[in-house]
Structure 1
Amino acid sequence: MIHVSLVAIPEAVVSTLSGIFDVMNAFAILPLRHGDGPPLPPPFNVEIVGEKAGPLTLASKVPVSVQRSIDTLERTDIVIVPSILLGPEGWRTGSHPELVEWFKAMHRRGALLCSACSGIFLLAETGLFDGVDATVHFGYARSFAQTHPQVPIHPERVLVVSGRREELITSGASMTWHDLVLYLIGRHASATAAQEVARSFALQWHQDGLAPYIVFEGRKDHGDAAVERAQNWVATHFSVVNPLEEMVKLTGLAERTFKRRFTVAAGLSPIAYVQRLRIEDAKRRLERTEASIDEISWQAGYEDPAFFRRLFKRVTGMTPGGYRKRFRIPDYALPPRKR
């Protein structure tokens, strides 16, 4: 069987680690079969590994048992680093040098290196992801870019498979470990096996990407007081007819100078920044109100609903109607109405 090393460190999140362990072991613990055929054979031997065997308390304050220490493993087929919890100071590089060296050794011997969510913070210390596309939880994207600026990061992507042998695999935000595990099952067992596991656990591929989940927060750590003043104003006035003209007046800068400084400081042009604020407002209204899409378009600052629909799809990857269907609280989850 294919040996899978699921890495446990004190910073790991228990839900991701235990979820990956159970789903990849599904063939051994559940009678998975295709139709009326015989049970599907277990393709994986999954072990929780760490710097030393024995009990280990994870970031969630839940203890797990590390089944095997890495110094007893000379070879493995798949290494998976689950989600890790970053403290207020961010990720401290150099915290696990023995693991980093072991990752590099396993890679040299042919192993796939995989991360779920923020696990890439540790894996990237190997240097193997330098110049290689990867993904990470969108909430950690800025911190990751500061910690590992040499790794091209795509937080809007669910799963990124890179490397010459397609051996460097990263999954994005939180529950996209489902996509990672289903990919590995499909790659090493079969598409049928992946479908059976998905059906058994009611797992779904995040086929729309992660852009719909990302909440836009304008960057304000740039130190340009004039730009920040404009950002603070437009945060509550984005629906006015000509927000760019008003921001230029507010700052007292020449329009050309303002556009240049704003783009450098905020990372977006003023118009693109306003559009992101408007789309974010529309997302909240789609989630929480019964207003029509045309009405929401007008409230966000767009008189042309067709343009609003096109822009919404370009930014989020979904139509406004599709977004509402995906993110509204379903009726069965609402509290009972008072009679």
Structure 2
Amino acid sequence: MQSPSTRSTSQARQAARHVALVALPDAVVSTLAGIYDVMNAQALMGESNGVARSPFRIEIVGESVGPLQLASGVPIHVQRSIDTLEASDIVIVPSVLLRRSGWQKGRYPRLVDWIERMHAGGATLCSACSGIFLLAETGLFDGKDATVHFGYAREFAATHPAVTIHPERVLVISGLQEELVSSGASTTWHDMVLYLIARYAGATDAQEVARLYALQWHQDGLAPYISFEGKSDHGDAEIQGAQHWLSTHFSVANPVEEMIKQSKLAERTFKRRFTAATGLAPIAYVQRLRIEDAKRRLERTDASVDDISWRVGYEDPAFFRRLFKRTTGLAPGAYRKRFRIPEFARPS
């Protein structure tokens, strides 16, 4: 299939495609409203300059027409009932807010059935962030790749084990016809909407909208945004003790050897149990803790990269730099520039 940038102008200028933006009580207003405005951008620009041109005809749809209070506590108006919509070109489920009880499957059978019918009729199905929780109930993502907010990744894997999840990826396109689209954490819905504009209207239009709204593609992926939290709910008390010790001693020399000594387990047994419990080999776990501490120091201090390297346990700054980039996708200096509060925003 052709990439969006190589589609012909005649293909991009087809009749406006219908977009069904799904409103449900768990939806987050910022994502829903943002998607609505940005996908309407060309229509709004057309009204301002007298040119009526838009690749999309977008409607907020739901189980019934009228006001609907979203998870944010803000009401939104559902423009059309799914009972009156027999077909759509694109269906988008916005971010949903997961409460402490997590996602409860089976609460929206009418929406799930309707989404399945839309897909059978040729619709492209899209999720923003955690909206994949609802889309996955159709079973259409089983055996396919998708992404979700990294904060919800474990819960999603437990809820929908048949879906291969990639929380570090910004956008995942799956399906034989590239009709299953998922975007990752939070504002990566920007990338999804720009992708849809590029796919159906052309790269020039996507660039124009990106400039209008000052949107940026998350081209470095989401690895730089993910904070490492070692798995600790595995039930192995011996390994939990080692993890607790390591949380404050990761920068010492030879931390793996020290853990093994303290555990009183044979080296081979310790390493096997540690890997089975945490999902990471001991040395990899140490590296993740050290990189996580380095990230905080880059964000919050003026210390040099060489100094940070030494403080987190690495005497060779070159090795530290390579490891940091391999782990986060960014060099230490680029990471600091990306995540440190800029001078103009700091309190005086």
TM-score after normalising by structure 2: 0.94
**Aligned-pair CA distance for 1:229:** 0.2
Structure 1 equivalent of residue 185 of structure 2: 173
Kept in 1, the 8 Å contact 2:17–2:89? The answer is yes
- For structure 1, the 5+ residue unaligned runs are none
What does residue range 243-322 of structure 1 map to in structure 2 within 5 Å? 243-322=255-334
Structure 1 equivalent of residue 12 of structure 2: none
Q: Distance in 1 between matches of 2:259 and 2:115?
A: 50
Q: How many residues in Structure 1 have an aligned counterpart in Structure 2?
A: 333
Structure 2 equivalent of residue 125 of structure 1: 137
Deviations 1:300-324 (A, max 9, x none): 1000000000000100000001100
**Aligned-pair CA distance for 1:31:** 4.5
**Aligned-pair CA distance for 1:38:** 8.5
Structure 1 equivalent of residue 11 of structure 2: none
Q: Does 1:56 align with 2:68?
A: yes
**Structure 1 residue runs of 4+, over 3 Å off?**
37-40
**Aligned-pair CA distance for 1:30:** 2.2
Structure 2 equivalent of residue 11 of structure 1: 26
Q: Distance in 1 between matches of 2:195 and 2:278?
A: 36
Structure 1 equivalent of residue 39 of structure 2: 24
3-state secondary structure, aligned to 1:91: coil
Kept in 1, the 8 Å contact 2:43–2:52? The answer is no
Q: Does 1:112 align with 2:124?
A: yes
Q: Distance in 2 between matches of 1:329 and 1:14?
A: 26
1:200 to 184, 206, 212: 212
Kept in 1, the 8 Å contact 2:46–2:53? The answer is no
3-state secondary structure, aligned to 2:198: helix
Structure 1 equivalent of residue 10 of structure 2: none
2:170 to 120, 133, 158: 158
**Aligned-pair CA distance for 1:40:** 7.4
Q: Does 1:89 align with 2:104?
A: no
TM-score after normalising by structure 1: 0.97
Q: Which residue identity is paired with 1:15? A: S
1:69 to 69, 81, 92: 81
Kept in 2, the 8 Å contact 1:26–1:32? The answer is no
Q: Distance in 2 between matches of 1:206 and 1:39?
A: 31
Q: Distance in 2 between matches of 1:40 and 1:332?
A: 40
Kept in 1, the 8 Å contact 2:129–2:182? The answer is yes
Report the RMSD for the aligned CA atoms in angstroms. 1.2
Structure 1 equivalent of residue 160 of structure 2: 148
Q: Which residue identity is paired with 1:199? A: R
**Aligned-pair CA distance for 1:250:** 1.5
- For structure 2, the 5+ residue unaligned runs are 1-15
Q: Which residue identity is paired with 2:40? A: N
Q: Which residue identity is paired with 1:16? A: T
3-state secondary structure, aligned to 2:125: strand
Identity %: 71
